[in-house]
Amino acid sequence: MASNAPSVVSLGNLTIDDTVLPNGRIHMAVPGGGALYSVVATRIWTDSVGIVTRVGHGYPDRVRHQFEQAAISLDGWCMATQEPLRTWVLYEDAGTRRYFSRHLEASQIQLVDGNSFDRYLQIVCQHQEDLSPQPADIPRLFHSANVFHLAPIVPVCQIELLHHLSKKTDGAVLLDPHYDLMTTCDESVFDDLLANTNFFLPSEEDLCARYGDFKRDTLKRLAERGPKVAGVKLGERGCLLYDKEEDKFYRVPIYPTTAIDVTGAGDAFCAGFAAALSQGDNIADAAACATASASFAIQEFGGLHLLRINRLDALKRKAWVLERIV
């Protein structure tokens, strides 16, 4: 286990994913979650990375073992008594995906009326909150990190962590907002979130959920409310970033590769961005690292294969992307 303070800290959930593809192929019990994809994608670029997460009882031991082998700092690895977060991930032909909790008690509820549905949501939401990291889970050693990547978790926990990080640390905060945060929080709360965020990187789906559509100037308006950089992940169309200090937009293409499983691509993108920032890279370099990370993530199922990526290969992909940023 790494003993020095990591330069990048990934905060998020660990899940077990049961994935169903449009062609009917099923992949069961794949270790996943935003924290996993974030930390392994960060590890592509730097040896100095830590994780803060709550681990459900029975989560695969091999994940921790592989993290230890990769010298990932596990001081923020917090064991919980609850069952792990297990999720059906269902992909549709149109490219959309749906998530359904496989919580043991919740899955046994017959959804016959409003009361039963409310009970189901109460159990699932509480379980997600119980297994999301809290400020007290962040080791003091981690407070000196250069960058904190806050992956999507339930809004109440994401808000608490964001406030803690902005007040108790000097590192930059990269926020990948939870979809529910984008759809439920009012403008005063949203203003506060943006004011405490250095890098804001939602997906196009997130922005459309809040604003009805996505327009280029949306990023500029978001950056004016706080972040140094506001960006949007556009899937197969790459990403668009706005740098407030330079008053400049960056259009970033994808790296061409065969997509096997796009789960975790957004987490890997943000992780690559955070890793580059922690090493002093500029926005274009960070975007290129982010895109290269996402390209590796989608090439196989799950995220643990990212621990096998050769850094030289990653740098080659970064260079390819960097040449094509406009």
pLDDT in tens, 86-116: 999 999 887 788 888 999 999 899 989 999 9
Mean pLDDT (whole number) for 73-91: 96
Q: Are the C-beta atoms of residues 36 and 126 closer than 8 Å to each other?
A: no
Is 195:165 a contact under the CB 8 Å cutoff? no
Domain count across the chain: 1
The average pLDDT across 37-50 equals 98
Any domain includes 64? yes
Upper half-sphere CA count for residue 52 (Cβ side, 13 Å): 28
| Three-class SS state of 92 | coil
Mean pLDDT of the region 231-246 = 97
Reported confidence tier of residue 197, pLDDT bands at 50, 70, 90: very high
Share of the chain above pLDDT 90, in %: 91
Between CA 27 and CA 59 the distance in angstroms is 17
Domain that holds residue 199: 8-322
Spatial contact of 286 and 243, defined as CB atoms under 8 Å apart: no
- Rounded distance between C-alpha atoms, residue 6 and residue 148, angstroms: 10
pLDDT band at 2 (very low <50, low <70, confident <90, very high): very low
Query: In this structure, what are the phi and psi dihedrals at residue 78, rounded to the nearest 5 degrees?
Result: -110, 115
For residue 3, the model assigns a pLDDT of 55
Can you read off the two tokens belonging to residue 51? 């994780």
In a domain, 314, yes or no: yes
Domain assignment present for residue 2? The answer is no
The enclosing domain of 245 has a CATH number of: 3.40.1190.20
What integer pLDDT is reported at residue 181 of this predicted model?
95
Are the beta carbons of 294 and 272 closer than 8 angstroms? yes
Is 93 contained in some domain?
A: yes
> Residue 230's CB: how many other CB atoms inside 10 A?
26
Place of tokens 């809290």: 134
In a domain, 3, yes or no: no
Q: What pLDDT band is residue 4 in, cutting at 50, 70 and 90?
A: confident
Nearest residue to 239 (alpha-carbon basis) of 281, 277, 269: 269
- Which residue from 179, 93, 149, 136 is spatially nearest to 274, judged by alpha carbons? 149
More confident residue, 24 or 199: 199
Q: What is the mean pLDDT of the chain?
A: 95
Q: Report yes or no on 32 lying in a domain.
A: yes
Label residue 214 by pLDDT band (50, 70, 90).
confident
% of the chain at pLDDT higher than 70: 99
> Which residue, 202, 208, 271, 277, is CA-closest to 233?
202
Assign 173 to helix, strand or coil.
strand
Task: Check pLDDT > 60 for residue 147.
Answer: yes
- Tell whether 262 is covered by a domain: yes
Reduce the DSSP state of residue 302 to 3 states and report it.
coil
Residue 1 in domain: no
